[in-house]
Amino acid sequence: MKSAELVFIPAPGRGHLVSTLEMAKQLVDREDQLSITVLIIKLPSETKVPSYTKSLSSHYASRIKLLELSQPETSVNMESDTHPINFISKYINSFKDRAKDAVADIFNLSTSVKLAGFVVDMFCTSMIDVANEFGVPSYLFYTSGAAMLGLQFHFQSLISNERSAIVHNYLDSESEVPIPTYVNPVPVKCLPGIILDNDESSTVFLNHARRFRETKGIMVNTFVELESYALKALSDDEKIPPIYSVGPILNLGGGNDGHGKEYDSIMKWLDDQPNSSVVFLCFGSMGCFEEDQVKEIANALESSGYRFLWSLRQPPPKDKLQFPSEFENLEEVLPEGFLQRTKGKGKVIGWAPQVDILSHPAAGGFVSHCGWNSTLESVCSGVPMATWPVYAEQQSNAFQLVKDLGMAVEIKMDYRKDLNSRNPTVLVKAEEIENGIRQLMDSENKIRAKVRDMKEKSKAAIMEGGSSHVALGQFVETVMKI
């Protein structure tokens, strides 16, 4: 069999790169004749490739190559777009010539390896054009869940069929939307903000889905046992390319990621706590709250009486596409005396080694923004969730977890803090937060047994003969037919 090579193009950002590299590892482990080149697109604000990439062992170094693309001569202004997806789509598109030249250089040097195709991220669909120029198939690696993929296809289909009036009716009402990949109709208030905005960003988002249909197959970071209903709906739609449920694809190695001192302090504190006694609060790389909401969370935690570990981040300047940062002085944002009163029972941190915290025996519940990676990490650790979505598709994920899967409790499913939201952010009061935490930490809550069961199923899915193991084998077989 002739050796084959895939070119992976992840979207900028650590989460997308980590998922891509974990996917690449699984593929080369399954097929000796397959190698992978990952083309890395860095944001202008990034000074170096994340340290995680250094963890690629020598075993992979010869078969997974990382190639950082240089910045295009004509740059895209990060501040010129009001919505991140507009910027990121234009930014990735500006790298098409760089990607084309890089791939041409690689295969001009090698006559023994065949270019088998491109695997593009869900935000990198413009790179399908580059694959077409080389005359090779393109595949999609969808880093969110199957239900969300179906939601994106559903609204793209409505727009494409010139049924935009239907979409407008949805968005102008308090109604619920039937979507094939969700068991229950989805309330309009739980749709992704980008759908609700109904502007240029919405068009860009749905155009990605239109291009998904051009691919030869879609790998989704999920597994049959978790999203059987959604996956069946996708496979029953003849207008959607073949779906390969290959998850959970996660970097479960954890580690301090350059935060050695903080890491040791966090893990030592957890070691001193009883099993399943700690509620962990973390809202993702972009998750942060204003001072009034921080105080409500603090009051809820103190009043609940539960042990807690809280990842608290400082919001960036308003209207800036920046990540949250660390607080220099936590006492300035927390209620007076809070840290003293909860000393020993609670710990407030900035950066959090989320995987290691969730897999620690002391972790008893997870108040989460419901990002898909975080959802999978929680499931694979067997830790139940309380949903508090913040942005992107997280409201839909929260709805699916609470209503369709019965694997989470609700704090506020329709909370949103989108960067460009025209509506003021609602303040979630301490009583509502405390109620959600109490339900989450209730040892008699039925969701605990469901999550424990799904933890075992997630392990089985990727073992030999498991659903995701089989699907990955089918994908490899498709790729190697060259």
Determine which of 265-274, 319-328, 394-403, 437-446 has the lowest per-residue pLDDT on average: 319-328
pLDDT on residue 238:
97
Report the share of the chain in percent with pLDDT over 70: 89
In angstroms, how far is CA 107 from the centroid of its own chain? 32
* Surface-to-core class of residue 78, CB atoms within 10 Å of its CB (0-12 exposed, 13-18 middle, 19+ buried): middle
pLDDT on residue 49:
62
Judge whether 230 and 181 are in contact, CB under 8 Å. yes
The neighbouring-strand residues paired with 32 are none
Mean pLDDT of 318-325: 72
What tokens does 334 get?
A: 């927390």
pLDDT on residue 357:
98
Higher local confidence (pLDDT), 73 or 266? 266
Mean pLDDT of 258-278: 94
Residue 251 has pLDDT above 90, yes or no: no
pLDDT on residue 418:
59
In angstroms, how far is CA 98 from the centroid of its own chain? 26
pLDDT tier at 289, thresholds 50, 70, 90: very high
Q: Do domains 3-251+459-480 and 260-445 have the same CATH topology?
A: yes
Backbone angles phi, psi at 197, to 5 degrees: -65, -35
Continuous segment of H or E residues that includes residue 142: strand 138-142
Q: What's the mean per-residue pLDDT of the chain?
A: 90
Determine which of 124-128, 296-300, 312-316, 426-430 has the lowest per-residue pLDDT on average: 312-316
pTM of the full structure: 0.94
Length of the chain: 482
Characterize the bridge pairing of strands 408-410 and 385-387: parallel
Report the share of the chain in percent with pLDDT over 90: 73
Mean pLDDT of 221-236: 98
Judge whether 475 and 244 are in contact, CB under 8 Å. yes
Residue 137 has pLDDT above 70, yes or no: yes
Higher local confidence (pLDDT), 172 or 193? 193
Mean pLDDT of 9-20: 89
Mean pLDDT of 385-404: 96
Highest mean pLDDT among 170-184, 193-207, 287-301: 287-301
Mean pLDDT of 53-80: 76
pLDDT on residue 7:
98
What tokens does 305 get?
A: 């009486």
Q: For the domain bounded by 260-445, which CATH number is listed?
A: 3.40.50.2000
CATH class label, 3-251+459-480? alpha beta
Mean pLDDT of 97-103: 97
Question: Could you give the count of Cα atoms lying within 13 Å of 301 in the half-sphere of its Cβ?
Answer: 28
Instruction: Please report, for the chain, the start and end positions of each structural domain, with discontinuous segments joined by +.
Output: 3-251+459-480, 260-445
The neighbouring-strand residues paired with 177 are 186
pLDDT tens by residue, 161-176: 654 555 666 666 678 9
pLDDT on residue 58:
59
Residue 57 has pLDDT above 80, yes or no: no
Mean pLDDT of 405-409: 97
